[in-house]
Structure 1
Amino acid sequence: MIKSIFYIVIMLLCTQSANASNIDNSDPMSIMDTFSLDFGVFYANSDSNMAVTNPKTGGTFPIDFEDTLLLAEEQYLPYFELTYTFNQRHHFYIDWKSLDRQADNNHVNEDFILEDIDGKDYLIEVGTKLDTELNIDILRLGYGYDVWQGTDYAVGISIGFHTMFIEAVFKGTIGTCIPDSSLTSLCSNVVATPEVVDDTLTAPLPNIGIYGSYELYHGWTFSAYAQYFSVAYDDVDGSLIDVRLGIETQCSENWSLKLAYNYYDVDITIEKQRKMNNNVLKTFDHNINYSFTGPLFAVSYRF
């Protein structure tokens, strides 16, 4: 879904750029209007977990997707960013990061219940073979304005939104339970279920940032930015830190290479509640921590 949205936006902006090519180049402001498309790879070191319920005591505890369910911690993943610069100081940008992982655990080592997925509870027992997928997409939209500009430097501020799309898929011998009013399930009636899918969409979470660039010498530019947000909204509590330092070298009029070092950390907690006997009761929290620290390499095309 998110990938399709991203590709549609790219097509629309490319269409706009084609129309813009018909503008009279005698207008100096129109000459400065450009699109820049970056595509490359980044290194991700991920950590993610969610709260589950102990079927014997009714208490909750965190289950780690990497340590317990064996999802990969380290991975090289694709990266895309599209930027539209106009009227010399203004920038619109959109970028997309994706983390899709899958792992098979032939022997689960503890009992736990996945609560309130499509109104049902699901039991995973010790010794069960469990296949797990965790797919996370992050879409970033924003606007930047150059507050200070010179012949070889620019410093600005940015505002934008991050939206996370999370899909967790569990496949195996999974029991279906019906909780009582205290949310303690004994799961006496277990029915084998081949697949459980939990989809979560976070509301757009705002961020603010600063950025700057400096041309060290002709064709070589140093750039940096930092973005941050922390917000609690309805049942979502989230924070983000995104810092990048990099060098860009221009290969030709339209092509350039970028090498950067990136620290990126998103921590999202989503509280779930269920209504039972006219009472609203908390069930469990999704806690997704998605982070990477390491190099990013991209090829940039300006048009």
Structure 2
Amino acid sequence: MFKPWVKSVAPIVFGLITMTLSPITAATEEGFKLAVGGFYSTSDSGMEVTNPSNGEEFTLDFETDLQLVENEFLPFLEMSYWFNENHGLYFDWKRLHRNANNTKITVPYEFEDVDTGETYQVKAGADLTTIFNVDIARIGYGYDFYSDDNFDLIATIGLHVMWMKLSFEGEFGACLDDECRVVEVDPDNVVLTEVTAPLPDIGLLASYKFAPNWRVSGHIQYFYIKVDEVKGQLVDFSGGVSYEMTDSFSVDLSYKYYDIDVEVQRDYSSLDIYYGFKGPMLTLAYHF
């Protein structure tokens, strides 16, 4: 079953979104922009599993049930190049790698390996180590279709690529022919296969220079796609204000929200994982 990303009821309702930052916030002149910074994120991630006692599906929360850290610092990198005042390319990258050991699993569950179809069962009280690594890269094209001395409207089209690695290590029961037994799992074994999910996106940026050296902007991206065995949806927006310290250097303070849901359907099984983060970020940019 394809689930929305947010744990409660995730409304895909976009109101008036202002105050966002991007490597292509304003197409003022030809040249490169390189931005590096830090992002303090609050993560929300999980997957659909089954309760072995009653057969009902439920969402396993990685932060609450598996004790993955919820708040963590994320580094990120942004680059852009404008050929002229109207046309530009951009690239950005974010990374979040987490692992945790839970010695007292409180909720029993079972899941299937999407490559082999084998069912694994984790009982209450088990000792389990979870590894969940996510890398997100974005590349795209921006077109400034309206511009004056203070205001810019930029349409974007691009591609998000997500590299996701989810593995469990510890006390497992392998279920064959309705019988489950404890098995040894190789510490390097990826029980749930590594997934690469490309998601194209479209977006709109609005940027306004409200004072000398000060600019506020608005940006939103969304896409839903189903290609072959991968189905997913993406919500991405952020907000902030920037200050130009010199002609070459600027500093940005903003708020970021990112939400993605990926369902992988294979011959043997299916896998539904959601991942999202939100929080403030600070960026230092150099124009050249």
Length-normalised TM-score, structure 2: 0.81
The Cα offsets for residues 16-40 of structure 1, whole Å up to 9 and x where unpaired, read as: xxxxxxxxxxxxxxx9431111111
CA gap of 1:187–1:88, structure 2 versus 1, over 3 A, is same
* Paired residue type of 1:186: E
Provide the rounded CA distance (Å) in 2 between the counterparts of 1:36 and 1:248.
Answer: 14
Displacement of 1:58 after TM fit?
Answer: 5.0
CA gap of 1:220–1:66, structure 2 versus 1, over 3 A, is same
The Cα offsets for residues 94-134 of structure 1, whole Å up to 9 and x where unpaired, read as: 11122211111011123333312541333322222111111
Q: For 2:44, what is the secondary structure of its paired residue?
A: coil
* Paired residue type of 1:229: F
Structure 2 spans left out of the alignment, 5+ residues: 1-27
Structure 1 spans left out of the alignment, 5+ residues: 1-30, 275-282
The Cα offsets for residues 240-283 of structure 1, whole Å up to 9 and x where unpaired, read as: 22222322111223211011122322222333441xxxxxxxx3
Pairing partner for 2:69 from 69, 72, 80? 72
The Cα offsets for residues 204-253 of structure 1, whole Å up to 9 and x where unpaired, read as: 21111111222223222222211111222333332222222322111223
Q: Aligned residue for 1:297?
A: 282
Q: Aligned residue for 1:192?
A: 184
Contact 1:70 1:105 in 2 (8 A): yes
Q: Let me know the Cα RMSD of the aligned residues.
A: 2.2
Larger Rg: 1
Q: Aligned residue for 1:47?
A: 44
Displacement of 1:142 after TM fit?
Answer: 0.9
* Paired residue type of 1:92: L
Contact 1:37 1:301 in 2 (8 A): yes
Provide the rounded CA distance (Å) in 2 between the counterparts of 1:255 and 1:199.
Answer: 43
**1:234-253 equivalent positions in 2, closer than 5 A:** 234-253=228-247
Provide the rounded CA distance (Å) in 2 between the counterparts of 1:140 and 1:248.
Answer: 21
Displacement of 1:68 after TM fit?
Answer: 0.9
**1:197-236 equivalent positions in 2, closer than 5 A:** 197=190, 198-236=192-230
Residues 1:98 and 2:91 aligned together:
no
* Paired residue type of 1:191: V
Contact 1:266 1:291 in 2 (8 A): no
Displacement of 1:53 after TM fit?
Answer: 3.5
Contact 1:176 1:192 in 2 (8 A): no
**1:89-128 equivalent positions in 2, closer than 5 A:** 89-119=86-116, 120-128=118-126
Length-normalised TM-score, structure 1: 0.77
Residues 1:286 and 2:288 aligned together:
no
Q: Aligned residue for 2:147?
A: 149
Displacement of 1:42 after TM fit?
Answer: 1.6
Aligned sequence identity (%): 37
Q: For 2:104, what is the secondary structure of its paired residue?
A: coil
CA gap of 1:220–1:50, structure 2 versus 1, over 3 A, is same
Displacement of 1:296 after TM fit?
Answer: 1.5
Provide the rounded CA distance (Å) in 2 between the counterparts of 1:201 and 1:284.
Answer: 12
Pairing partner for 2:156 from 155, 158, 175? 158
Moved more, 94-103 or 167-176: 167-176
Higher relative contact order structure (alpha carbons within 8 Å, sequence separation ≥ 6):
2
How many residue pairs get aligned? The number is 258
Pairing partner for 1:267 from 245, 258, 261? 261
Q: Aligned residue for 1:6?
A: none
Displacement of 1:191 after TM fit?
Answer: 2.5
